Amino acid sequence: MASSIKKAPPPSAVPPPRTLDVQRFAESRGPELESIHSIVSTRSNGDYRVRRNKRRRTNSHEDRASKGGRGSRRKMRRRSSANGGASPAREKAAAKEKVSRIIRRRREPRENPEVGFCRSGDGTRRLRTHLWHAKRFEMAKLWGFYLPLSLHGSV
């Protein structure tokens, strides 16, 4: 019975405005905006670390927001392409550099297709689970595939 009774909204409830007057909003939030501006302007060198007495963890001094990360790499690439690219000598040196471990690991899933098989030079196909099995079993070429044969040292 109580659920069938509808309550009317209280007369003091005013619906939210359809438009926002930015000037009036900024004036009403003046002290807050000034305090934020003073904090940001004093840290103009990009040092946004938390003060030592405010830290939750002892070593939480690395601030991810102030680090460049991948975005800065992208910007550097854009700059180098805008400048006409690097010199040929620098490009050769970059080609000789060892590829980082992260990038090598990022490539692994691409070399392991979900559909179909990888083929080696002689045409032998590898299962999708080849790497997992190769770490744990002796692998043998049978029927055009690399297949797990037995545990290491048991044959």
Report whether pLDDT(132) > 70: yes
- Examine residue 133 and state whether it is found in any structural domain, yes or no: yes
Question: 145 in helix, strand or coil?
Answer: strand
* Residue with more model confidence, 60 or 118: 118
Band of residue 124 on the pLDDT scale cut at 50, 70, 90 = confident
| Residue 131, domain member (yes or no) | yes
**Residue pLDDT, tens place only, 64-102:** 555 555 556 666 666 666 655 556 666 677 667 788 888
Q: How confident is the model at residue 152 (pLDDT cuts 50, 70, 90)?
A: confident
The answer to whether the pTM exceeds 0.85 is no
Q: Give the residue numbers spanning the domain of 145.
A: 113-151
Residue whose structure tokens are 């392409």: 81
Residue 43 domain-assigned (yes or no): no
Structural domains counted in the chain: 1
pLDDT range class, residue 16, cuts 50, 70, 90: confident
Would you state the pLDDT for residue 41? Answer: 77
Confidence of residue 44 (pLDDT cuts 50, 70, 90): low
Cβ(80)–Cβ(86) below 8 Å: yes
* Statement: residue 60 has pLDDT above 70: no
pLDDT band at 108 (very low <50, low <70, confident <90, very high): low
Q: Is residue 121 part of a domain?
A: yes
55 phi/psi in degrees, rounded to 5: -75, 145
Alpha carbons 100 and 3: distance in angstroms, whole number: 65
Is residue 69 in a domain?
no
Q: What is the pLDDT of residue 28?
A: 92
137 occurs within a structural domain = yes
Q: Which residues pair with 85 in a beta bridge?
A: none
- Spatial CB neighbours of 46, under 8 Å, sequence gap ≥ 6: 66
Judge whether 28 lies within some domain. Answer: no
Rounded Cα gap, residues 75 and 77, in angstroms: 5
Q: Do 61 and 55 touch, CB atoms closer than 8 A? A: yes
Q: Is 143 inside a domain boundary?
A: yes
User: So what's the pLDDT on residue 37?
Assistant: 85
Report d(CA 52, CA 59) in Å as an integer: 9
- How far is 71 from 64, CA to CA, in rounded Å? 12
Position 119 pLDDT exceeds 70: yes
Tell how far CA 101 is from the center of its chain.
16
Q: How many helices (H) and strands (E) does the chain have?
A: 6, 4
